């Protein structure tokens, strides 16, 4: 059972990229399964920082095939630019495999996403405006364009024409925005098809062949369980299934192949965009977390909302994902707080349990046992409240700043 799934247990930005990278040595392939360029996964190797939006994070490691699965919605311009940037950094992008069944984000999807957000005013979801929602709408509506259509422009034009007519009607009459030209999209699609053709394949077959040989496959989730379209804080969610079941569907793999589900959670909580956030803080506490944690969105640059670790939400996320272990990231950001509240809604009493803080800088600590006692107490308290083993803690962005909990 050689599949490891990496899932976010909060509202995204938990550090899945770093963990996926760490799990990839020895893997035959690493798969992005859902979402698209709304994601921003960061991997730091020495002086080089890689910021990936569509590519699976394992591409930074030598060896694994980098698969973009059928559940992903692909913006070809973003993908091609990402491949160029990686190539320029000396990364072998010939290992990229793009599912023929993945859906394509087209200019009218981005236009509709932005126009819908503008029209909602104060009720906006706060999407990344990358066209993710409208592309998934077309997928569910059976009017979407798939990657394989980029290789057959007659078919693409035939399928796109009615869908674009509808989108343009909405854009012009409802949102009073500019229409998108069919000819322009077909011209762009022709260039995308030529550039991406060498990478387009049946990725499910590739993954099954790998599993058949007993090779390890890593599934990389994007966003987090609390942004799941079904189980998140609807309607303030993304439009894909971000829990482990969604990853499996997006990769085309059955659950019996999975032997571990690594849930990633920050040692505190952040959220970008609108929606409920029970443990949110402001003032000095917010400034501490935001400044030390560099809490700005990777894709949009928006400041992230910050709060304490929400134990009830974390426990729920482990149930939704079936996490078999947790990696607690950014523990170093909590240094310098005299006390660190853990948030757990309790009927009729205080929601916050304060734990003792610590002053020591954790970023240079190389072994878990060398962390200050209060930091280990914090990790142990989280473990016992959530009821899932914590396998590692991360104390900085570098690959090496990952401590095995002993």
> Which residue's entry shows tokens 């364009």?
145
What minimum distance in Å lies between the beta carbon of 57 and ligand IMP?
12
- DSSP structural state of residue 280: B
Residues 316-335 that bind ligand IMP (CB under 6 A): none
Using CB under 6 A, pick the residue from 128, 210, 269, 321 that binds ligand IMP.
128
* Angle ∠(206,211,217) on CA atoms, nearest 5: 85
Among candidate residues 13, 75, 113, 310, the one labeled active-site is: 13
Window contacting ligand IMP (CB under 6 A); options: 10-18, 244-252, 281-289, 368-376: 10-18
Which residue has the CB atom at the shortest distance from ligand IMP? 273
Asked if 355 is part of the footprint of ligand IMP (rule: CB under 6 A), the reply reads no
Half-sphere exposure of 144 (CA within 13 A, CB side): 28
Q: Is the CB of 31 or the CB of 403 nearer to ligand IMP? A: 31
Among candidate residues 21, 28, 41, 288, the one labeled active-site is: 41
Asked if 31 is part of the footprint of ligand IMP (rule: CB under 6 A), the reply reads no
Using CB under 6 A, pick the residue from 3, 4, 13, 290 that binds ligand IMP.
13
Residues 210-229 that bind ligand IMP (CB under 6 A): 222-223, 227
Using CB under 6 A, pick the residue from 2, 107, 114, 126 that binds ligand IMP.
126
Using CB under 6 A, pick the residue from 61, 127, 210, 394 that binds ligand IMP.
127
Using CB under 6 A, pick the residue from 238, 244, 329, 374 that binds ligand IMP.
238
- Beta strands of 167-286 (E only): which ranges? 200-201, 217-220, 258-266, 269-271
DSSP string across 383-400:
HHHHTS-EEEEE-SSBTT
What minimum distance in Å lies between the beta carbon of 116 and ligand IMP?
10
Question: Does 108 qualify as catalytic in the annotation?
Answer: no
Total interface residues for ligand IMP by CB under 6 A: 21
> Which residue's entry shows tokens 């409802």?
174
Q: How many CB atoms lie within 10 A of CB 352?
A: 14
Q: Is the CB of 40 or the CB of 397 nearer to ligand IMP? A: 40
Using CB under 6 A, pick the residue from 239, 241, 335, 401 that binds ligand IMP.
239
- Contact between 174 and 111 under an 8 Å Cβ cutoff? The reply is no
Window contacting ligand IMP (CB under 6 A); options: 123-131, 155-163, 312-320, 338-346: 123-131
Residue 350 CB burial class (10 angstroms; 0-12, 13-18, ≥19): exposed
CA distance 59 to 52: 10
Q: Is the CB of 148 or the CB of 220 nearer to ligand IMP? A: 220
- Contact between 68 and 79 under an 8 Å Cβ cutoff? The reply is yes
Q: Which of 392, 263, 267 is nearest to 316 (CA)?
A: 263
What minimum distance in Å lies between the beta carbon of 184 and ligand IMP?
23
What minimum distance in Å lies between the beta carbon of 37 and ligand IMP?
9
What minimum distance in Å lies between the beta carbon of 347 and ligand IMP?
29
Q: Is the CB of 11 or the CB of 308 nearer to ligand IMP? A: 11
* Binding characters for ligand IMP, 36-75, by CB under 6 A (x = yes): --xxx-----------------------------------
DSSP string across 289-336:
HHHHTT-B-TTT-PBPEEE-EEHHHHHHHHHHHT-SEEEEE-GGGGTT
- C-alpha distance from residue 77 to each of 60, 85, 105, 401 (Å): 20, 12, 9, 33
Q: Is the CB of 105 or the CB of 211 nearer to ligand IMP? A: 105
Question: Does 13 qualify as catalytic in the annotation?
Answer: yes
Counted residue by residue, the chain has a size of 406
Residues 241-300 that bind ligand IMP (CB under 6 A): 272-273
Task: For 176-193, give one letter per residue: b (16+ CB within 10 A) or e.
Answer: ebeebebeebbebbeebb
Residues 6+ apart with CB under 8 A from 84: none
Asked if 125 is part of the footprint of ligand IMP (rule: CB under 6 A), the reply reads yes
Task: List contacts with ligand IMP (CB under 6 A).
Answer: 11-13, 38-40, 125-128, 130, 132-133, 222-223, 227, 236, 238-239, 272-273
Residues assigned a catalytic role: 13, 41
């Amino acid at each position: 059972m050689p599949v490891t799934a990496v899932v976010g247990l909060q509202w995204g930005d938990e550090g899945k990229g770093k963990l996926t990278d760490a799990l990839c040595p020895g893997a035959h392939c690493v798969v992005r399964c859902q979402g698209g360029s709304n994601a921003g996964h960061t991997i730091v190797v020495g002086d080089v920082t890689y910021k990936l939006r569509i590519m699976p994070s394992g591409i930074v490691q030598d060896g694994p095939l980098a698969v973009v699965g059928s559940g992903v919605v692909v913006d070809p311009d973003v993908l091609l630019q990402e491949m160029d940037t990686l190539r320029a950094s000396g990364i072998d992008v010939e290992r990229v495999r793009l599912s023929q069944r993945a859906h394509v984000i087209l200019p009218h999807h981005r236009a509709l996403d932005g126009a819908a957000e503008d029209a909602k005013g104060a009720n906006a979801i706060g999407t990344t405006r990358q066209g993710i929602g409208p592309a998934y709408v077309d997928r569910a509506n059976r009017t979407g364009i798939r990657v394989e259509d980029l290789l057959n422009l007659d078919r693409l034009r035939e399928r796109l024409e009615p869908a674009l007519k509808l989108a343009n009607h909405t854009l012009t009459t409802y949102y009073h925005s500019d229409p998108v030209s069919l000819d322009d999209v077909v011209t762009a699609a022709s260039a995308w098809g030529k550039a991406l053709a060498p990478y387009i394949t049946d990725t499910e077959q590739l993954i099954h062949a790998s599993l058949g040989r007993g090779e390890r496959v890593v599934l990389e989730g994007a966003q987090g369980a609390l942004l799941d379209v079904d189980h998140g804080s609807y309607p303030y969610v993304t439009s894909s299934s971000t829990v482990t079941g969604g990853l499996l569907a997006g990769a085309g793999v059955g659950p019996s192949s999975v032997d571990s589900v690594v849930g990633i959670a920050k040692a505190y909580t952040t959220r970008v965009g609108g929606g409920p956030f029970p443990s949110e803080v402001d003032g000095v506490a917010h400034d501490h977390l935001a400044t030390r944690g560099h809490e700005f969105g990777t894709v949009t640059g928006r400041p992230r909302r910050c709060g304490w670790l929400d134990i009830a939400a974390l426990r729920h996320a482990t149930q939704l994902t079936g996490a078999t272990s947790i990696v607690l990231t950014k523990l170093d950001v909590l240094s310098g707080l005299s006390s660190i509240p853990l948030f757990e809604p309790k009927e009729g009493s205080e929601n916050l349990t304060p734990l003792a803080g610590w002053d020591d800088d954790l970023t240079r600590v190389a072994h878990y046992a060398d962390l200050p006692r209060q930091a280990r107490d914090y990790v142990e308290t989280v473990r016992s409240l959530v009821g899932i083993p914590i396998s590692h803690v991360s104390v900085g962005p570098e690959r090496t700043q990952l401590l095995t909990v002993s």
